[in-house]
Structures are given as structure tokens and as C-alpha cells.
Amino acid sequence: MNKSVKKINEKEAQTIFLKSVGERIMYERKKLKWTQKEFAEKVGIDRKHVYNIESGKSAMTISVLGNVASALRTSTNYLVHGE
């Protein structure tokens, strides 16, 4: 058995997931040359919430995820799974 494989707990997995979603959102927002404030206004959320989502500190509701994907002209599948 390979002992170099580290098992991660549920909390660590969630953190990794939220950071990867946040990175994809930030990447797409920057491609459109939008500030966090501009993006927040388009999505209908607070700029601080955008910051927390992009940094992986906060999750989104399904409704906000749909609004984010729509504003970024991409799919929820891409934002969540990278596909």
C-alpha cells in the first residue's frame, strides 16, 4: 500500500472544493474585466460575498450559483466541476 497518499477529511475536501469553484469564478470574471463590485451588482450579491466565494471562504446557494453562471456566460457544471 502506498503510504504517501494522504487521506483528507470531509472539512478539507469541502475547503478544496470551494477554493476550486472560487478560482474558476475569479478566472471567468477577470476574463470579462469586471471588478468584484461590478460582478456583485450583476449577480445581485454584496461585493464581500464575491470576495468570500472567490477565496473559497464561503459557499453559495443554488440560486446564486445560477446567477453567477448566467452573469459569467458559462454553465453551472463548469463552475462546479471544471468541465
Which element (helix H / strand E) includes 8?
none
In whole angstroms, what is the distance from residue 57 CA to residue 66 CA? 19
Tens digit of each residue's pLDDT (9 = 90 or more) over 16-70: 999 999 999 999 999 999 999 999 999 999 999 999 999 999 999 999 999 999 9
> Considering only the top CATH level, what class is 35-83?
mainly alpha
Q: What is the model's pLDDT at position 6?
A: 73
